[in-house]
Structure formats: C-alpha cells, structure tokens
Amino acid sequence: MSKPRCYFGFRSPYSRLGLHKLERAGIDCTLIPFTGPPDGAPFFDPMTSKPKLAYYAADVARMSARMGLEVTLPNPFDVDFTPANTAFFALDRIGLGMAFALAVSDARWARGEDVSDIDVLENCARQVGATSPLSELMLDDAALKQAVVRGRAMVAEDGVFGVPFISWNGQHYWGHDRMDLFLEEFAAPATA
C-alpha cells in the first residue's frame, strides 16, 4: 500500500477542512502545496462566479461549524502564497509539515490573517515548535528549491486541479467531502 499524497492550498477553506480531517484521523501522508494546475491546464477560480462565491461563503461557515472550527474570511483575500508554501517545505523537512499547514490554514481561515506576512508565518512556526527562525529554515538552498520543483512535478503526475486532493493507490479524491470516502477506504482491510 502506497503512502497517500495530499495536495492542499492555503487559499482554500475546504483544504483547511480536509487537513483537519486527516489530522484527526491520524493519517500519515505526503503533503504537497497546490501551486496551481499542471502547466497548460486552466484554473477555474470560484472567485469569478458571484453565485458560486455566495454558496462558498455559506457552505464554508456551515461545514466549519460541523467540524467545530471557527471561520473568518481573510482580509486581504488574494495574497502571494509563495512565502507560506516555501515555509511549509522548510518545516516539512524537519517533521513539522502537517502541524504548520494546519497552523497557517487556521491563521488564514479562523482568524483572517494575511499568510503572506512573514510575521504571521513566523508565529505559526513557533506555535508548532520550530526552534529556529524561518529566515534560517528558509535559506535559499538547493534542497528547498528541489522540494518546490518536486511538488510541481507531483501536481502534474497526479493531474491535480483543485484542493484538497488525495492521490492514493491509483485513486483520486477531490474535495473535503470526499475525504470521508478516502478515510473509509484507507481504513478498510485489503482484500486478497
């Protein structure tokens, strides 16, 4: 049985919900920040549809409440997620990836914080137990750059078009509502 790959994005409130489901279930997976669809594939932004955006706002509040999570719309909404993604890769290589992904997602979606702000990211890193400052952890090195390139290659390999998205044993699960199906199938004993 292969290790599941879970694609997430700090931009998506549904990604936050999916990360919390995985964490609560104790699933060990490879986390990959979603930095956009594979090259040449369009991105269908829910922000471009007023009815879909209105639905999202109501649904995110409803689904967050069901999971016992608070929600606050971030301001500003669209920010540069590169610092958060880079910080994730730096924290992931010291074993704090899931905790940091949750901390940043909660900073954005529970408290409405700007996760492109290095001070917000630094607070998240300290919150999850990082003992070195992000400036040291995010030094411009070849290993960190390679992790970013490898993440983009996995996005293309798995055909990821949105988050949360899990790829496991040749199956794909897109959306936080499909996390339950993944968790059921992941926990089921393999049949001979």
Nearest to 166 by CA among 6, 3, 2: 6
- Dihedral angle, C-alpha 33, 36, 37, 42, nearest 10 °: 160
Which domains are present in the chain? 5-187 (3.40.30.10)
Strand partners, 173: 166
The pLDDT tens digits for 116-128 are: 999 999 999 999 9
Q: Is the pLDDT of residue 192 over 70?
A: no
Give the burial class of 122: count Cβ atoms within 10 A of its Cβ; 0-12 exposed, 13-18 middle, 19 or more buried. Answer: middle
Structure tokens at 55: 């639905």
The pLDDT tens digits for 25-79 are: 999 999 999 988 777 766 666 777 777 778 888 899 999 999 999 999 898 888 9
Q: Is the pLDDT of residue 129 over 90?
A: yes
Report CA 134 to chain centroid distance, whole Å: 19
Angstrom distances, CA of residue 188 to CA of 24, 25, 30, 87, 168: 17, 13, 20, 34, 14
The pLDDT tens digits for 95-115 are: 999 999 999 999 999 999 999
pLDDT of residue 134: 87
Q: Is the pLDDT of residue 191 over 60?
A: no
47 versus 158: the higher-pLDDT residue is: 158
Whole-angstrom Cα distance, residue 135 to residue 133?
A: 5
Whole-angstrom Cα distance, residue 103 to residue 132?
A: 17
Q: Average of pLDDT values for 10-14?
A: 94
